[in-house]
Structure formats: C-alpha cells, structure tokens
Structure 1
Amino acid sequence: NVSLEHLLVLKSFSFIAFLIFTSVVSLICFSPGEIVVNEVNFVRKCINAEGSQDDLWGKLICTNFKVSFIPQDAPLKQLSHLLFGEHDIPLTCLEQVVTVNDTKGKKKVLGSNKKLKFNPTELILYSKDLRIIRFCFDQAGPESAKKVCLAIAHYSHPADLQLLFGFEYQGRRYHECKGERVKGATPRGGIHTPIFDRPSDWDREIKRTGASEWRVCAINEGYAISSSLPEYAVVPVSLADQDLKNYSVFFLDNRIPLWCWNHPNGSALVRMANICDPLQQRKIEQKIFTAITKSHPQRCDVIKLDLDKFLPNIQDIQAAFVKIRQICVIDAFEESEERWLSSIENSRWIEHVRAFLKFSADVIFHLDGNNISVVLQEEEDRDLNCVVSSLAQLMLDPHYRSIIGFQSLVQKEWVMAGHRFLDRCNHLNKSDKEESPLFMLFLDCVWQMMNQYPAAFEFTEAYLTVLSDSMWIPLFSTFLFNSSKQRAQYFMDFAKNKAIPQGEDHVVYFPPVWNWSQQFSNKDLTLFNNPMYVGKGAACVQNGEVKTFKRTKMVDGVP
C-alpha cells in the first residue's frame, strides 16, 4: 500500500497495471449505520508471499459495509480516506471469497447460501480492484473463523439492491446532517457538477457548445417513452415532439436518438440505438438524418458509424479483463518483465484500448476534419456508445479535460444515458454474463491520452484511481443503477422507508460520487489537480515540443 502522495509519481504502461500498485491509506473507521456482523481474533494477514516475517496479527471484522482488519501492533497512519482504513475493503468490491483447509487439502468458493463443512485455516479474498488479500487462522478459534468467513460471503452477495449498505448509510446521514442542509452546505452534485436531471443543465450545455438548432425535449418526462433514457434530452429543433413519439416505437427500448455535443463548425455528435423494424429502417433514418442536417449551418451530410461492426463487444472486453486480472494478481511479478508484458499483450486488453482510441479518432476526423455530423449507432446505445462518445468529446473539447467538465461528461454520457452500472459492475453478484468493465476501459483510454498530453488535463492519475475505486463503494448514486428510472424508483422507496419528506431534492440525501468531501479532506483533494495543467485550449509541451491537443492527423490510429 502507498499513500495518496505517491500516486502522482507512479508510472506504468497501462492504467490497469497502475491500479495494481496504488491504494488509499487511512485509519480504521466506522460509518453511520455500520454494524459489526462477526469478528475473529488472532488472525494473521499475509503481507509477503515469500515469508511470514512481514505478516500482521490482529482482528478480522465483517460489518454490513466492509471487511476490516485491525492490526495489533502496526502504527496508525495519517488519515487519508474518511470511509475506509488501510486494511479495509468494501463488500461490493469482493469478486470471490475462497476458504482453504491446508491439512485436509480442501478449497471452497463461498456464496450467499453456501455451507462450509470444514474449519478454514485460510481465507482468500479476490477483489474487483485487482487485489488478493489472504488471512490465516493459525491461532484463531476454528468455529469463529468459520463464522466470519460465512458472514463475509453472505453480506458480499446481497439479494436486493436496497440491502446494500449505502441505503442505510445515506438515510442516517440525511437525518444527522439536517441542520447543515438547511444552511445550504451541500452543493447539488458536489463542486457544482451538473447532474443533467433537469432542463436547465441541458440548456446550459446547448449554449456552451453553440448548438442553436437543437432544443431540450421533455417527451420522456415521467419516463413515458423509454425506461432507459433520461427524462430530458436534446433533439433537433426541426423535429416535433409528436414526430419523435411516433419514431420512438421503431427504436430498441424506444430510445430516440440523443444529441451529445456540437463542434464550433456546426457538426453534431449524436448517438442512437438500432431500429427494430428492418422495413422501416431506411425511412426512419432518412427523417432523423434530415433533421440533423437541417441543424448544421452549412447543411452538411450525416455519416452513421455502426459500433457493433467495428469494435469488440462486451463479452470480448470482459474476457480480456479476466485474463489481465489473472495475470496481474497471481504471481505476476515473479515473472520476468518481458514475459509479463507479453502476457498482458496476449490478453488483448491493450488491443481493445487501442481499438476504441482509433475509432474515436475516426469520429473526430469526420466532425473536425470533414465538417460533417456523426451518428454513433449501437444495438442498445448503452455500452460502446458511452465509451466512444465520451472519448471523442474529451479529445475535441477542452472543457471536458477540466475536473468539473470531465465529471459532467461522465454524468451525461454514462449515468443519464443509461449505462448499466448495476449489471456491468455486477454489484449483486448475480449474472457474470452481464458483467463487463466498460467504464474501466474508458478510464484506461483516458489514462493513455493523459500520458501523451500531460499538460492538457486538469486532473491526475490519483483522480482516475479514486474514481475507479469509487465504483465499488455503494454509498453514491452514480455507479449503482442501470438507468435514471431505476434510480428514481429506488429513491422513492428509499425516501418512504427513511421518512424523508416527499419532493425534497434526492441529490441531497443520496448524492453522486462527485461530492468528494464525503471521502477526502480538502488537503487530499488538492492531489486531484495536475500542477502541469496549462488551461483550456492552451498549448502543451510533449517531449520538449509545444503541441496542442487537437487532432491534425492520425498516428497509429491515435490522435
């Protein structure tokens, strides 16, 4: 483990590999609503695989939120994280819980309803953030060891989303912090990041990008049209609401095409799902594309790019991630560097990262170079489109390379666009078939660009690492749900169960992750800021040469 201060200087060829070396340290702490479920004393935490001289002795605790290990003699470190200790891991971050009995040669993968017929001598926790944590029960009571293992397995596999600790925690915080909210101490979204849950957020984005021929549409208010779209979306001015309603029935899940961004030259970036009826496809596309063409000052053409044909699917991405995880956590660094790098290459993860960067560069070529609008099409418009649309905007718009801009980009293109965070992160450990690290792939792509243009981004590697870790903390609304509608439904039930007045802004009592003060002190938050950042649209220095972060030509498929 290393401190936050060290995160800025650690380098690696991949963001995934970077995550293996980094973690946030802090004191052991318990949150409001957190209770101890089970515990066992005289546990040995294995630190070094080669020997036991560095191992720590202490108490292993399972709460309704996390697995905690409290060392007996280890000195307390400077507080860095307000929710977790140095030896803590949230239950939602656990990928697999394995118990071992060395004397009997038995090994068992535990789930929520699994029974354990032997007393474990060792517990191995495989985490989703690429760590393996081992505990040995040499001196611990066998029955106590068995009970704590079963508790960890049970609480890491909740049967329902509302059983996640976040619902208990945020309810407690709501009532405890009522006085602070009255004084206006809780900003909406944290450091004023737009949530895009109301028309005003979209209006500001239209004005910021100069998209004068586009308007905010409210036909999905109350989720009347589509269960996976936000209540408000941006559409061409020339398309009437009734026309959009008529067209919506031909799209998968009634997902009408969504405006993402406008280039200063007038070309627009749009995303849409597949059209279900092949007989109506050409007719509907022609009407949609005509409306997009009318929104362009020069009435330029529209090009449609089918992502399903040219990019790896979610199963390919998950398979590559599983391979890279196995390489990184199982005796990975005992191999030679050359062999390890070769194994990483064979996993195809880096190949997938390159494919998305290259495809995004092609999108930029059309938007910026050819001055034509681009429609990104994907079957459901909820996975690959999120990655490509975000990368294209990040490459072209300096605003999104600031911290607030980047957070608004994720909020707009991932959260509100209906990316299935609940399924893709597999928070409930129910379906491995739906799991796929699309957001992790996106962060790796961003990391690659940051290393090419270190002065073009306001945020740092520490920020990306913390954002990645936050996916596994079930306290914020950002990464917990599959859609805005699902989020609203759970918020309604949550408010009713916790006696929260009807009509109060849900962001206040179940905030997005962008309210970083819930996790870090102001001092630590300064580590999110890149000291080399030269400001929006300014030139940056790379390898001793002054360059601008604007695509002029393709170099190996990367702008």
Structure 2
Amino acid sequence: MLGKGVVGGGGGTRAPKPSFVSYVRPEEIHTNEKEVTEKEVTLHLLPGEQLLCEASTVLKCVQEDSCQRGIYGKLVCTDFKIAFLGDDESALESDETQFKNKIIGENDIPLHCVDQIYGVFDEKKKTLFGQLKKYPEKLIIHCKDLRVFHFCLRYTKEEEVKRIWCWSYHNGCALLKMSALPREQDDGILQTHKNFLDGIYRVIHRPPYEIVKTEDLSSNFLSLPDIQTAYSKFKQLFLIDNSTEFWDTDIKWFSLLESSSWLDIIRRCLKKAIEVIECLDAQNTNVLLVEENASDLCCLVSSLVQVMMDPHCRTRAGFQSLVQKEWVAGGHCFLDRCNHLRQSDKEEVPVFLLFLDCVWQLVHQHPPAFEFTETYLTVLSDSLYIPIFTTFFFNSPHQKEMNLGREAQDAHSTPLHLLTVWDWSVQFEPRAQTLLQNPLYVEKPKLDKGQRKGTHLKHQRQLSLPLTQSKSSPKRGFFREETDHLIKNLLGKRISKLINYSDELQDSFREFYDSWHSKPADYHGLLLPHIEGPEVRVWAQRYLRWIPEAQILGGGAVAMTSRLVGMMEEVRSLQEKINERHHHQRALPAEAPSLLRSSARLSSLFPFALLQRRPSKPVLPTSGWKALGDEEDLARREDEFVDLGEV
C-alpha cells in the first residue's frame, strides 16, 4: 500500500525485493497533501554553499530480508554534499537521534565522504564512471564512514538527475624523525645532513651522546600498499546493502576479518611502538625514526609512543596538540591520503585512521587513562571527510598558506571563513558534547607544595624542534650498507656510532612487555596495550554503527557507561550538599542531564542511533537456502526420519 509518500510491500523468503508492484505514480497520490509537505522541507546550506542540481520523486530505500520500505523525497547535490530531503521523515523513524551533527544531517553525505557510487541496471550492480549512457534504476552510495544509501530513480525524470620534529622523555631520551638519506648527494646536501646530526647532539643533553637506535620504517615495517589493501578488504565487511547480505556474510565473518589483515596491521603498529618505548624507557636509548618522507609511518609510530608514554597526550587538550604537532604541522599529506580531490586512488591510504584505530585499542583496554571517549575518536574520524575543516584538508602547512594567500590576493574573491575541527560547537550542541568527555577518567591528583619540592622531573613536554628539511629519496627505503658506508667515510667514526649501535642492542622486548603487564597499570605513567590475538578488537562503534542487525539491544559498553554516569551524578549531587552544609555555600548549578541518562532506550549503536527495530535472524543461513531446493519442492517433501538414539 502507498500513503504519505511511503512504500511498503511483502514478498517470499527467497526474494530480497518486494512482490507488490504499484503502477500508480507517487505524484498521483494525495497530490494536495504532498504539495504542502514539500513546502515544509527545506535545504539547509552552509555559508557559501551552492546548490548544483536536484531530482524530485526519489525513493530512499530501507532494505530488509523480505520487504522493502522507503520514503519519497528530493535528492539534491551541492558543492559540499549530497542530501536527501524526505517528504515524511516520521514515516520511517519514530525516535529522533539526540546526538545530532549541526553540519551533517542523517541523510547528508559530504562529497569527500563518498567512497563508491553504483548504479543498478536490470538488477545488476555496476560501478558508475563519468557520463552515463543509460540512467540507472537505482543508485547505491557507499560512504567512507561506512554508511550505505539506496535511492530508487524509477519515477525520477532523467533531466533532473616536510618538517622534522623530536620529543623527549622525562629521563632525557629523545624521539626523532627524519627523511631517508638520498643515495646520491652533493656537497650542499651533505652539509644539510651534518647540520641535522649536529642538531641531534644539541637535543641530546645527556651522555653518552652517541647512543641512538635507528628504526628504518621504510624497510623493516609496514608499507603503504599493505595498509591500503588491508583496509579495502576490511571495510567491505561493513558496507552491507541489505539484511540478506548481512546474514550471508555473518557465517564467514571471522574468516573474512582474518583474511583482511587489518587487525594484524594494528597489532604490528602497537608492537613497533612498544619496541621504541622499550629503547627509550628501559635502555635509556635515543631513537631515530626514518622513513622516505617522514610524514606517514613516522607520524603514526611517534604519535603512538607519545600517547603511551606521556599522560598529557591522553587528555583532550594534549591529544589535540599531539595531532596538530605530529600530523598537521608534521606534513602528513591529508589531501592525498584522504583523496579529497579524487586525483589518485593509489595515494589514498588511511594512515591517520589507522592511528585512531590504534588509539581506540588503548582507550578500550584502559578507559580510566583517557579524558576523551571512543565517541570522540569516532567523530574525529568522521571529520576527516568534512572538507569545511582546514585541519585535515591540506598536504602541509605550506600548501595551506599558499592556497589561502592566493585567495587573499584576489580582490574579487570572498574572504574564506576557515574552521578548525577542534571547535566542536560547530558540529554539536553542548548537550551532545558531553559524550566526548570520559566520565570514567581518573584525573591526576594535585600535589601540595611540600610534595612538589621533592619531585623535580626533567620532562620537557612535547619539545618540538624544527630542524633542516632533507630531501626525500626518489626510491622507497634506505639501505643500511650504503648509508653506513657513506657516513663512515664522510662524517667520521663518531657519527657512525649513531647507526651501528642498533646492532648491539639485545632483543628484550618480551621481557619488557611481560614485566609491565605483571604490575598494576599506572594511568598517569607508562601505558602499554595488550597485543595478543583476542585483545586486538574491531572498533565496533565506528564500523558497526550503521548496521541495525549488529546492535546489542540495551547492552554493550553504552549500558555500563550509562549506569556509571548516573552513579557519578548522584555522587556529585551529594558532594555539593555536603559542601553547602559545611561551608555554608550555595550548591553549584546542576549540569545539563546526560544523554545517556535521559535516553530511555539505548543500544550499542548509541549515540549515533537510538533503538532500532531489528530484523529477526533467519533460522537457516540464506546461503543454504539454495541447497534445499525451491519452496514448492520443499513444501511437498515429507518430514525426514531422524534417529536420535537412546535417550
């Protein structure tokens, strides 16, 4: 039946599409009522955002095992996003999502968030490229944040449609990054490298000066193609078109997960960071991270090391500073790695997303050590694909300055209003921002004056020294033999010790790792993750949040957190009453009620969706239906006798 722009129908268990077909065009149904509804639906544009095209009478589909529901509306495209404006949103959703993004709506897709667009022609799905010779019956859009949209166009008219940084530990050891040395060098480049090494000596202010371990990430660690291939396989587990496909995949989900190697890559990143920490903490050895351009894996490993070693990086302000220093100012190529301009798919590698996934492993294993939540990490990953934020848009600060300077010189251009991703008020209301703050965070106790005198650490927090930029090698990696020979001959024995010392270090990783985990965790000290197989898990909130079949009704981490938040609010209220009685002070104004406490129905999809109706799981896997034969044959069969034996 059709009504108020909503389509509903039923079919057999085998057919994924509806058996009911309407031959009445939607514009012929309740015409007057539809016209009134369309007038109420408005497109919200950002300042400077322009409408490019629109298509009316588009059906947004919601697919399940045995039925197909949807809502009619308008599909529009601007120079910023693709948006669907439903004629009657209430027909599909009874509860309104409370964790709203003020920039991106539930049915909005930033253009930079589009991963793939498919067209359905005669029930066959094909990737769309360039100009279309034939208009598809349906559009399927896969997003980089793992949402999947289905739009039926059956009733739509065709015409509508490079710098170096270091950080020092409190024992004086330094963590440094540098580009790989070119194989062929002139006198100017040699002098540049000499100045760089002299800069190392100035940073390392404790003897023995020559003890530095070199970690060549270009040759003995992951490669960017490895990361790209693994994530391409991994994300397919979550880009589910319908419930039938979900249950088909569910049977072999763990084998597909293992074959993607994504969790193994996360484990290797965490292990490499722990190896660096072991040198800095246990062996009191300085570490030099080397990579071809020092802006991908160097950023990842050095950031993980600082998150694990420096409790300041586990606060919201410290984590923001870390990202700005190591990734943004450090020259990570966000424009290329996120492929914002769609110029080269080969350059699109989710290195920063891999870093956030590694941080999530730490947050999941040690919640009280972090001031921010997994929701904070999730919305930060989403912000990668919202191009109004300049934080993650350019390849380097230099590129940003060049482009913005060119705009400023144009007298006829409108001044750009730049936004930073760290201003969360742009995306979320204050009430929603409470979900970014971890209520379980254990703050560091403040010391009195007497205790402070006895504690004098030489910790130079986030010491950043921009040194001379060296040119990157035209080929990947840097070969130890050639570099070692070059340095010995040209720069002397003292400098060669920087390279040779790494051969003398003993592999004490396992002893260091097991020793730390045998002791109680210090949330304001060194923090190591478990990297054994079952401990490295899928970041469920980010990857499963758009799949209703995967939700846990009234459960998951949200259920536990909601109860803890409620208890903490009661404790805070009681503490205020005690303070008021003892000090005769007015009680502090109560904070806004938490979303967790005020939400009556929660699931593991929260806060990105409230409780959703969950399709029942089929008794038999859909992949096994074909083996049973046709429905008519199955109905004619007699019940088979099964001998259960003696009871």
How many Å separate the matches in 1 of 2:444 and 2:251?
39
Consecutive unaligned residues of structure 1, counting only runs of 5 or more, are 1-26, 148-227, 230-257
Indicate if the aligned counterparts of 1:289 and 1:302 stay in contact, CA closer than 8 A.
no
> Are residues 131 and 139 of structure 1, via their aligned partners in 2, closer, same or farther at CA, if it must alter by over 3 Å?
same
Alpha-carbon shift at residue 555 of structure 1 (Å):
5.6
TM-score by length of 1: 0.67
Which residue of structure 2 aligns with residue 269 of structure 1? 175
How many Å separate the matches in 2 of 1:368 and 1:537?
23
Give runs of aligned pairs for residues 68-467 of structure 1, distance below 5 A.
Answer: 68-75=83-90, 77=96, 80-102=100-122, 107-110=126-129, 114-144=130-160, 147=161, 228-229=162-163, 258-277=164-183, 288-289=196-197, 291-293=199-201, 295-300=204-209, 301-330=211-240, 333-335=246-248, 337=250, 339-467=252-380
Indicate if the aligned counterparts of 1:99 and 1:109 stay in contact, CA closer than 8 A.
yes
Alpha-carbon shift at residue 537 of structure 1 (Å):
8.5
1:530 aligned to 2:438?
A: yes
Which residue of structure 2 aligns with residue 547 of structure 1? 521
> Are residues 470 and 537 of structure 1, via their aligned partners in 2, closer, same or farther at CA, if it must alter by over 3 Å?
farther
How many Å separate the matches in 2 of 1:381 and 1:33?
36
> Are residues 460 and 100 of structure 1, via their aligned partners in 2, closer, same or farther at CA, if it must alter by over 3 Å?
same
Indicate if the aligned counterparts of 1:364 and 1:551 stay in contact, CA closer than 8 A.
no
Alpha-carbon displacement from aligned partner over 1:206-264 (angstroms, at most 9, x marks no partner) = xxxxxxxxxxxxxxxxxxxxxx33xxxxxxxxxxxxxxxxxxxxxxxxxxxx3321111
2:115 corresponds to which letter in structure 1?
E
Indicate if the aligned counterparts of 1:424 and 1:436 stay in contact, CA closer than 8 A.
yes
Indicate if the aligned counterparts of 1:456 and 1:536 stay in contact, CA closer than 8 A.
no
Indicate if the aligned counterparts of 1:387 and 1:442 stay in contact, CA closer than 8 A.
yes
How many Å separate the matches in 1 of 2:445 and 2:267?
24
How many Å separate the matches in 2 of 1:512 and 1:527?
20
> Are residues 322 and 378 of structure 1, via their aligned partners in 2, closer, same or farther at CA, if it must alter by over 3 Å?
same
Count the aligned residue pairs.
411
Alpha-carbon shift at residue 391 of structure 1 (Å):
0.2
Which residue of structure 2 aligns with residue 511 of structure 1? 419
SS in 1 for 2:369: coil
How many Å separate the matches in 1 of 2:367 and 2:246?
28
Indicate if the aligned counterparts of 2:165 and 2:330 stay in contact, CA closer than 8 A.
no
> Are residues 553 and 136 of structure 1, via their aligned partners in 2, closer, same or farther at CA, if it must alter by over 3 Å?
closer
Alpha-carbon shift at residue 116 of structure 1 (Å):
1.3
Q: Which has the larger radius of gyration?
A: 2
1:311 corresponds to which letter in structure 2?
F
SS in 1 for 2:435: helix
How many Å separate the matches in 1 of 2:115 and 2:531?
36
SS in 2 for 1:98: strand
Which residue of structure 2 aligns with residue 159 of structure 1? none
Which residue of structure 2 aligns with residue 244 of structure 1? none
Between 1:455-464 and 1:307-316, the stretch displaced more is: 307-316
1:524 corresponds to which letter in structure 2?
A
TM-score by length of 2: 0.59
How many Å separate the matches in 2 of 1:531 and 1:65?
35
Q: How well do the aligned residues superpose, as a CA RMSD in angstroms?
A: 3.1
Indicate if the aligned counterparts of 1:293 and 1:299 stay in contact, CA closer than 8 A.
no
How many Å separate the matches in 2 of 1:555 and 1:537?
26
2:208 corresponds to which letter in structure 1?
R
Alpha-carbon shift at residue 36 of structure 1 (Å):
2.1
Indicate if the aligned counterparts of 1:321 and 1:349 stay in contact, CA closer than 8 A.
yes
Between 1:302-311 and 1:328-337, the stretch displaced more is: 328-337
How many Å separate the matches in 1 of 2:434 and 2:108?
23
> Are residues 282 and 109 of structure 1, via their aligned partners in 2, closer, same or farther at CA, if it must alter by over 3 Å?
same
Alpha-carbon shift at residue 128 of structure 1 (Å):
1.4
Alpha-carbon shift at residue 44 of structure 1 (Å):
1.2
2:128 corresponds to which letter in structure 1?
V
Consecutive unaligned residues of structure 2, counting only runs of 5 or more, are 1-41, 447-516, 537-647
Indicate if the aligned counterparts of 2:61 and 2:68 stay in contact, CA closer than 8 A.
no
SS in 1 for 2:442: coil
Identity of aligned residues (%): 41
How many Å separate the matches in 2 of 1:347 and 1:537?
43
